């Protein structure tokens, strides 16, 4: 009998809850790191997922810290600015062979350790806490596409099948057996998986999408569909995409899809609120550092003007501060 894979998901918000529920429902041995009302609710009734195929509730082991036993996969599913607080909570479950899968928006810390993105390192990994805790050789770079929300503690809603694009943080240029195995583990749970030989490009494409929509969604308090179809917001989105494209080119990434294609994706997203707008409405800290400040740091280092991005990030930070 094949032993079920051991997977720890640290952080049970909309994304972490969706993936944890799907993995547990598929038969994986899932444990989760949660806290507060979410932890209490999971212990009382399990994780509930409301998805396109129906609703189910599945039990998972839940605690404030990761298990002391080695896991086949550690998923980090918190906001980028919360990652450092997870390090002491998951330390016991990570050894030299544990694959680490961070599902975060913005520029991930491991992309900034050296090379063309190095000027953003202190913004996304102050003091190199993450670099020391999770060596790049163990990290699986990731881009997540999921229209998910958490209306209640331990209750997640997923409007579409989630998709993960995966690639090695180190050893770019190939897809090894270990990466393929992780992809199979996730796809067995019903998660769409795409493997990449250079995960940096999909990350930059998702960053462009997020930076063009998330801060603007907070300022306008509008859904993706509304922003993607209104003439004025489309013009602002186009300006942001042009600036992200220029910064990416300065860093050696030139594969960003055409602006028209990205606008079409945004317009077809339906009445979905961005994760940043959901955080704003809940009074949570916004992901402006990894998503915005990291890009402006790179722009400054390469002499690329980003007036639209600068303005959006500053106004969004101001609005969030006024509403706390």
| CB 20, CB 60: distance < 8 Å | yes
The rounded distance, in Å, linking the Cα atoms of 167 and 141 is: 5
Q: Is the dihedral of CA 305, 309, 312, 315 positive or negative?
A: negative
31 and 155 share one domain: yes
pLDDT given for residue 1 in this prediction: 53
137 and 40 share one domain: yes
Q: Residue 111 falls within a domain, yes or no?
A: yes
The rounded distance, in Å, linking the Cα atoms of 187 and 106 is: 24
pLDDT given for residue 323 in this prediction: 82
β 155-158/148-152 pair status: antiparallel
302 and 177 share one domain: no
Residue 58: domain span: 6-198
Model pLDDT for residues 302-319, shown as the tens digit of each residue: 999 999 999 999 999 999
The DSSP code for 271 is S
Q: Residue 1 falls within a domain, yes or no?
A: no
Which CATH number do you get for residue 114? 3.40.50.720
| CB 39, CB 62: distance < 8 Å | yes
pLDDT given for residue 2 in this prediction: 67
Q: Residue 60 falls within a domain, yes or no?
A: yes
115 and 259 share one domain: no
Low-confidence ranges of the chain (pLDDT < 70): 1-2
- pTM for the full model? 0.93
151 and 101 share one domain: yes
Q: What tokens does 33 get?
A: 């790191």
Q: Is the dihedral of CA 174, 7, 191, 207 positive or negative?
A: negative
Model pLDDT for residues 112-164, shown as the tens digit of each residue: 998 999 999 999 999 999 999 999 999 999 999 998 999 999 999 998 899 99
The DSSP code for 203 is H
| Cross-strand bridge partners of residue 49 | 56, 156
pLDDT given for residue 118 in this prediction: 96
Which residues are CB-neighbours of 21 under 8 A, at least 6 positions away? 47, 48, 49, 56, 58, 60, 156
The rounded distance, in Å, linking the Cα atoms of 241 and 205 is: 10
% of residues, the chain, pLDDT over 90: 89
| Helix (H), strand (E) at residue 319 | helix 307-322
| CB 233, CB 222: distance < 8 Å | yes
| Cross-strand bridge partners of residue 163 | 145, 192
Q: Residue 121 falls within a domain, yes or no?
A: yes
pLDDT given for residue 95 in this prediction: 85
Which of 198, 226, 241 terminates a domain? The answer is: 198
Q: What angle do CA 296, 162, 215 make, to 5 degrees?
A: 25
149 and 170 share one domain: yes
The rounded distance, in Å, linking the Cα atoms of 45 and 304 is: 51
Domain count, the chain: 2
């Amino acid at each position: 009998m094949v032993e079920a894979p051991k997977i720890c998901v640290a952080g049970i918000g909309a994304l972490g809850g969706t993936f944890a529920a799907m993995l547990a429902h598929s038969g994986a041995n899932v444990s989760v790191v949660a806290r507060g009302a979410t932890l209490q609710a999971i212990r009382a009734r399990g994780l509930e997922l409301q998805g396109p195929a129906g609703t189910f509730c599945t039990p998972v082991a839940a605690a404030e810290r990761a298990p002391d036993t080695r896991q086949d996969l550690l998923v980090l599913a918190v906001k980028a600015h919360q990652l450092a607080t997870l390090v002491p909570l998951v330390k016991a479950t990570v050894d030299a062979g544990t694959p680490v899968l961070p599902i975060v928006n913005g520029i991930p810390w491991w992309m900034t350790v050296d090379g063309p993105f190095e000027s953003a390192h202190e913004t996304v990994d102050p003091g190199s806490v993450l670099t020391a805790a999770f060596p790049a050789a163990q990290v699986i770079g990731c881009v997540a596409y999921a229209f998910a929300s958490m209306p209640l503690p331990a209750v997640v809603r997923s409007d579409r099948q989630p998709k993960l694009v995966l690639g090695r943080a180190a050893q770019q240029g190939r897809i090894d057996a270990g990466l393929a195995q992780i992809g199979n583990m996730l796809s067995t749970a019903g998660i769409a998986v795409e493997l990449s030989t250079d995960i940096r490009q999909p990350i930059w494409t998702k960053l462009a999408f997020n930076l063009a929509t998330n801060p603007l969604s907070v300022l306008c308090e509008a859904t993706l569909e509304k922003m993607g179809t209104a003439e004025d917001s489309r013009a602002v989105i186009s300006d942001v995409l042009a600036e992200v494209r220029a910064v990416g080119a300065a860093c050696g990434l030139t594969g960003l899809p055409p602006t028209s294609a990205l606008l079409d994706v945004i317009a077809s997203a339906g009445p979905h609120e961005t994760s940043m707008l959901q955080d704003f409405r809940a009074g949570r800290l916004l992901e402006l550092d990894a998503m915005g400040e990291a890009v402006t740091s790179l722009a400054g280092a390469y002499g690329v003007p980003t007036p639209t991005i600068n303005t959006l990030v500053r106004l969004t930070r101001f609005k969030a501060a006024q509403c706390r």
